[in-house]
Amino acid sequence: MRTTVGIIGAGPAGLLLARLLHNAGIDSVVLESHDRAYVERRQRAGILEQGTVDVLRAAGAGERMDRDGLRHDGIELRFDRRRHRVDFPALTGGRSVMVYAQTEVCKDLIALQLKDGGPLLFEAEALAVEDAQSERPRVRFRHAGSEDVLECDYVVGCDGFWGVARKAVPAALSRVYERTYPFGWLGILADVPPSHDELVYARHDRGFALLSMRSTSVSRLYLQVPDGTDAEEWADDRIWAELERRFETADGWRLRRGPITQKSVTPMRSFVHEPMRHGRLFLAGDAAHIVPPTGAKGLNLAVGDVVTFARALTHHKQTGSAELLDIYSETCLRRVWQAERFSYDMTTLLHRAPDATPFEDRLQLARLERIATSRAVETDLAEAYTGFPLH
């Protein structure tokens, strides 16, 4: 097989890249190791930044999002039994976020790709990226029981942290920056309408809690738990009781309970691989960086990466200049490190470390009080949450 851009991974990043390239008249082939049903039900992120929403609309993938998604104009911070709302449009010149699950983004992009895009091969396992520094890099892959080779002008690895793309960057050239956290998130899906119309981030002496949602009838909630926790150790009643404790307010707000349909534990880590380019191999999304989910940045960072690549390749096609391709890694990493900074700040602001001292507890409350009383500090949070510029 032969194409201009070989894309490894049919998550939202790989699928969006294929769509952007199609719209620019550039051919591609997408290789995805799992089947379509797996990709369309894989629960991940659910918060889209303003820039991500704008890109999906411009790419022709916004119709169902605009119909079924939930626009949110703020978040609520809870601490010391108090509530403080951060008003995004008022602080950012009109920006907001959209609650629309990654599974739905993938469904929309898959439908578009199969309708009028290039080849999208499910159950096509990428085995290796070869000759990344040559003008004809290749992806060896296994599909329908046999091995094949995809010859490309460029390869983009959107295949996640455990994929093969990053392994093609020589260890001598790689720099890795990472941090692991001594806690994770116990997440649940529940068939109950959300108890609040916007996301609630709660700092409590017993640990962090997050009230989120997937729709007007399905709630998504999280509890900070020790690293290594088994979700099955937590009975449903225990989960609801703990959520009620951590969301408690002085004004008598109540949490709605409902049947829990899914529970899992997500580990917390920060990770960045530099560089994000090696020859004609470009890394995007989790293949290059991971953020703790506190700042809702993972999917949005991946979108920023593929938008940067698509713009650079389109510029090369139109002008013959490889200037933007040459600075792909530096361009993406500026945005990546700001997102890492924000996600780290949100994580340390709201989670209680296992060995936290009373001094550190008071510092957290002081930081939250500062957000609630300083428009400048609150604006910094709102600007970061709604998204860093996609350029």
The 10s digit of each residue's pLDDT in 231-256 is 999 999 999 999 999 999 999 899 99
pLDDT mean over 291-296: 93
CA-wise closest residue to 282 among 29, 39, 56, 5 = 5
Residue 387 pLDDT exceeds 90: yes
Q: Catalytic residue among 196, 278, 293, 351, which?
A: 293
181 is catalytic: no
Catalytic entry in 196, 297, 328, 351: 297
**In this predicted structure, what is the pLDDT of residue 45?**
74
User: Distances from the Cα of 34 to the Cαs of 29, 123, 225, 232, 266, in angstroms?
Assistant: 15, 5, 30, 26, 21
Identify whether 293 is a catalytic site residue. Answer: yes
Question: How do residues 308-326 score in pLDDT, each as one tens digit?
Answer: 999 999 999 999 999 999 9
Element (H, E) at 32: none
Share of the chain above pLDDT 90, in %: 96
pLDDT confidence of residue 347: 97
pTM, to two decimals:
0.94
Half-sphere exposure of 125 (CA within 13 A, CB side): 7
Mean pLDDT of the chain: 96
Task: Tell me if residue 385 is catalytic.
Answer: yes
Categorize the per-residue pLDDT at 383 as very low, low, confident or very high, splitting at 50, 70 and 90: very high
- Catalytic one among 22, 72, 278, 351? 72
For residue 44, pLDDT over 90 is answered with no
Confidence band (pLDDT; 50, 70, 90) for 152? very high
**36 neighbors 128 (Cβ within 8 angstroms):** no
Residues 206-228 have a mean pLDDT of 95
Could you tell me the domains of the chain?
5-70+98-177+269-346 (3.50.50.60), 181-267+351-386 (3.30.9.10)
Q: How far apart are CA 219 and CA 235, in angstroms?
A: 17
Cα 384 from Cα 54, distance rounded (Å)? 16
DSSP string, 212-264: EESSSS-EEEEEEEETT--GGGS-HHHHHHHHHHHH--TT---PPP--EEEEE
Catalytic residue, candidates 201, 222, 278, 351 = 201
pLDDT score of 300 more than 80: yes
11-26 pLDDT per residue, tens: 999 999 999 999 999 9
* Rounded-to-integer distance, Cα 111 and Cα 64, Å: 12
Mutual angle of helices 298-319 and 12-23, in 10-degree steps: 20
pLDDT of 84-115, one tens digit each?
Answer: 999 999 999 999 999 999 999 999 999 999 99
Q: Is the pLDDT confidence value at 43 over 90?
A: no
Task: Give dist(CA 346, CA 382) in Å, integer.
Answer: 12
Q: How far apart are CA 196 and CA 208, in angstroms?
A: 17
Catalytic annotation, pick one of 154, 181, 222, 385: 385
Find tokens 């294929």 and name the residue.
Answer: 18
How far apart CA 22 and CA 16 sit, in angstroms, is 10
Examine the residue annotation and report whether 297 is marked as an active-site residue of this protein: yes
The predicted pLDDT at position 42 comes to 80
- Dihedral angle, C-alpha 47, 52, 53, 59, nearest 10 °: -140
